[in-house]
């Protein structure tokens, strides 16, 4: 463990530890308090939360730190520096898990839309039994894709810019050749001091941005269609008030799962990728810009627990706090809440 940490890195360690705790707790909550009728949606939530656990666990283990210098974006490990090979695998996996989470989130939005729109045939076709293979395969493909690019293109290959090596030695007192990292270098100086554009890094970072934008666009589209469908259903009064309320709960839970990672992870990362491309320095505030990255899984876990009332009430009962809950009067045409998830 590297003990020479800055304040931002101590805060990052605290945030990732909290995220790990709350998402392990959320795994238990989903497993314990989900109705049997939740079916495939329960599986999607468990998978998404599992990725958050992995993401936060890697942060705790290697404590990723960020450094912007000249035309270089440099993400490196601060912990487990003695085992460079294993740290390299973890830091690349850390980047790849982000791509997986976008796919699972998109699958959740698709499932939510199919449920609200009553497209039961499509929902049964792609989200039941062995047919889970569709979104599971997409998740695996995205992971392999991100891991391969991060490892082969942006990993430690020993061809880093000389000026970056000197800057890292001066700032952190560490030798780049002995570090585990991912590096996006838009341009570097050659032996004559002339600036040389790195077209491969530029092309591959644009490729990864495109890959990330595909599931995000699907989430946005399905989210908008879901919201419009919920509004239409409410206006036509086709469903009970209780069922409408629960559909809104689940939709807003999904909305927070999209908004919080976008504001806490995607947006800061875009800033850090764009700044070196424009030769803009964010030092010495780079790690503060990314301060929300270790914390956002905590916010996501808390929001999911509070918005989905089954989980909130389950936690309250588990804690010994009495919860008053109105029961539906089925004799008056009420609809069981569990029908939402079938």
- CA–CA separation, 306 and 62 (whole Å): 31
* pLDDT at residue number 205: 93
Assess if residue 2 is contained within a domain: no
Assess if residue 1 is contained within a domain: no
Domain count, the chain: 1
DSSP of 243-304: HHHHHHHHHHHHHHHHHHHIIIIIHHHHHHHHHHHTT---TTSHHHHTTTTTTHHHHHHHHH
CATH of the domain at 304: 1.20.1070.10
Assess whether pLDDT exceeds 50 at residue 187: yes
Residue bearing tokens 């960020």: 66
Assess if residue 161 is contained within a domain: yes
Assess if residue 21 is contained within a domain: yes
Q: Which of 63-77, 83-97, 112-126, 173-187 has the lowest mean pLDDT?
A: 112-126
323 falls in which pLDDT band (50, 70, 90)?
low
Mean pLDDT of the chain: 83
pTM score, two decimals? 0.83
Give the residue with greater pLDDT, 231 vs 330. Answer: 231
Contact in structure between 232 and 119 (CB atoms under 8 Å): no
Which residues are CB-contacts of 106 (< 8 A; sequence separation ≥ 6)? 215, 216, 218, 219, 222
Range of the domain at 186: 7-341
Highest mean pLDDT among 136-150, 177-191, 292-306: 136-150
Assess if residue 82 is contained within a domain: yes
Strands 64-69 and 181-185: unpaired
Q: How far out from the chain centre does Cα 273 lie?
A: 17
- CA–CA separation, 112 and 228 (whole Å): 12
Please give the DSSP secondary-structure letter assigned to residue 340.
Answer: G
* pLDDT at residue number 97: 93
pLDDT digits (tens, 9 = 90+) for 37-49: 677 888 888 999 9
């Amino acid at each position: 463990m590297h003990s020479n940490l800055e304040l931002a890195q101590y805060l990052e360690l605290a945030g990732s530890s909290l995220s790990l705790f709350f998402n392990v707790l959320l795994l238990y909550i989903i497993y314990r308090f989900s109705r049997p009728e939740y079916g495939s949606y329960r599986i999607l939530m468990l998978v998404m939360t599992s990725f958050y656990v992995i993401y936060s666990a890697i942060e705790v283990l290697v404590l990723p730190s960020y450094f912007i210098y000249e035309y270089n974006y440099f993400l490196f490990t601060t912990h487990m520096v003695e085992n460079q090979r294993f740290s390299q695998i973890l830091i690349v996996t850390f980047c790849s898990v982000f791509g997986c989470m976008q796919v699972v989130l998109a699958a959740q939005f698709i499932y939510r839309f199919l449920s609200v729109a009553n497209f039961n045939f499509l929902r049964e076709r792609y989200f039941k039994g062995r047919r889970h293979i569709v979104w599971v395969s997409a998740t695996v493909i995205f992971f392999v894709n991100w891991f391969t690019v991060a490892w082969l293109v942006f990993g430690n290959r020993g061809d880093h810019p000389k000026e970056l090596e000197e800057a890292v030695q001066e700032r952190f007192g560490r030798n780049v050749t002995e570090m585990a990292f991912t590096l996006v270098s838009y341009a570097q100086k050659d032996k004559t001091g002339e600036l040389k554009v790195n077209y491969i890094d530029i092309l591959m970072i644009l490729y990864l941005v495109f890959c990330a934008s595909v599931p995000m666009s699907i989430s946005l589209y399905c989210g908008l269609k879901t919201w419009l469908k919920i509004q239409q259903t409410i206006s036509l009064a086709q469903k009970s008030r209780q069922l409408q309320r629960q559909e809104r709960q689940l939709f807003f839970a999904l909305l927070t799962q999209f908004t919080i990672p976008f504001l806490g992870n995607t947006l800061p990362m875009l800033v850090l990728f764009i700044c070196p491309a424009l030769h803009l320095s964010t030092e010495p505030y780079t790690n503060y810009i990314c301060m929300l990255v270790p914390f956002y899984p905590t916010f996501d876990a808390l929001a999911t627990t509070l918005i989905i009332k089954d989980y909130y009430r389950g936690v309250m009962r588990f804690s010994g706090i009495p919860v008053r809950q109105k029961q539906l009067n089925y004799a008056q045409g009420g609809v069981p809440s569990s029908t939402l998830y079938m």
